[in-house]
Structure 1
């Protein structure tokens, strides 16, 4: 086979595969091999093999499989990069949507919402024969109490709806204390309260969306128990 016929045959194969050898050669880096390079090497290998000891079919198929694997890994990398870009856009949308919302976070500092109310929950480790919530100021003075009586195990909601105007106007944070008797007398349990989201950032790929929550600083959106507008 002449050199001209060989080149024409190679070009015909490349055209059928949709590979433009000249265009790829000008766009790819010199230290990378593409489909055209692989087919050229394989064609040259077949042309120059020993006719008395031709290339084994298994070796030929192994080379094709290796090239397919490398191509698949490259395509998968491009797909994952596209997914990463889409996730970044999703994080931006999530962060912007959380602004102006309240999130339920573990803690005992609460502030009245736009309706002048305080809402939260306590997570009881077991059923309680009696339970109550106390709202105090910074000096420890009791401002309000809620007797919730017997409660089953799990999340139990509480609220303070009729907060006096002088407390609302003060703008001070209110401390929430929760107690329950699960068989050993009244013991303190940890409450969770709604707090305002002041700002939100997309963070990085590892940490995800980060929220700046009033009175609680920066927390991960993944740690938030519940969202509320």
Structure 2
């Protein structure tokens, strides 16, 4: 909780500092706008002077520019704060297992395991085990599976050459589109342009937004 408090305090300090700078910038923008308007009026064609509607329109633009600057500043402040909150959440995942998109087959003690997600229940699911060239080494049926995240185990005589898997599914004869997933441990996190990236133990980087679940 202390870490959250520190981040919020710093964020408020940053926003207060930004507000002071913003006020000065707005004043400068309005001053420049008025100088341009006066110069335009001084150099206007006497035979075709600006009418009241034109002058009113020009002055109204001062408020428009100021409003846009305020909006941009507010959005920027919210974006920064969101990035800080996301980094805090990501740090809590270091060392934990996450489920993310991918089709790498996990092999341990001669058993291959994989994970996939179904948007709806399937009455027929088939798994294909692939080698580095995406050639099918073996395929087997899992039967009916419920909607959501599902796991499978593959126990062959040899797992040599097996590196990935592919899942297909059907429901009432209609083809479904499963999403292959992998379970991996988060090793570290990094942020760039308010985007949080997780580095996984078994290699590869994934976006924080791609995490399906964690344990």
Query: Structure 1-normalised TM-score?
Result: 0.49
CA deviation string 1:22-81 (max 9, x = no partner):
xxxxx769xx844466668879999xxxxxx99633123212211111111222222222
Select the residue among 122, 143, 151 that pairs with 1:150: 143
> 2:192 aligns to what SS in structure 1?
coil
Count matched residues. 162
Select the residue among 205, 209, 213 that pairs with 1:218: 205
Where structure 2 has 5 or more consecutive residues not aligned to the other structure, the ranges are 1-23, 42-47, 130-139, 154-161, 172-177
1:103 CA displacement: 0.9
Q: Distance in 1 between matches of 2:51 and 2:125?
A: 82
Query: Would the aligned equivalents of 1:123 and 1:153 in 2 still touch at CA under 8 Å?
Result: no
Query: Structure 2-normalised TM-score?
Result: 0.51
Change (3 A) 1:96 1:152: closer
Bigger Rg over Cα:
1
Measured on the aligned residues, the alpha-carbon RMSD in Å equals 5.0
Query: Would the aligned equivalents of 1:108 and 1:192 in 2 still touch at CA under 8 Å?
Result: no
Query: Aligned runs of 1:56-135 on 2, under 5 Å?
Result: 56-105=51-100, 106=102, 107-109=104-106, 121-123=115-117, 127-129=122-124
CA deviation string 1:160-210 (max 9, x = no partner):
7xxxxxxxxxxxxx9786877869xxxxx98533211111112334xx211
Where structure 1 has 5 or more consecutive residues not aligned to the other structure, the ranges are 1-26, 47-52, 113-117, 135-146, 161-173, 184-188
Q: Distance in 1 between matches of 2:40 and 2:166?
A: 80
CA deviation string 1:109-136 (max 9, x = no partner):
2569xxxxx98533469834576899xx
Identify the residue that residue 190 of structure 2 maps to in structure 1: 201
1:94 CA displacement: 2.5
Q: Distance in 1 between matches of 2:127 and 2:214?
A: 24
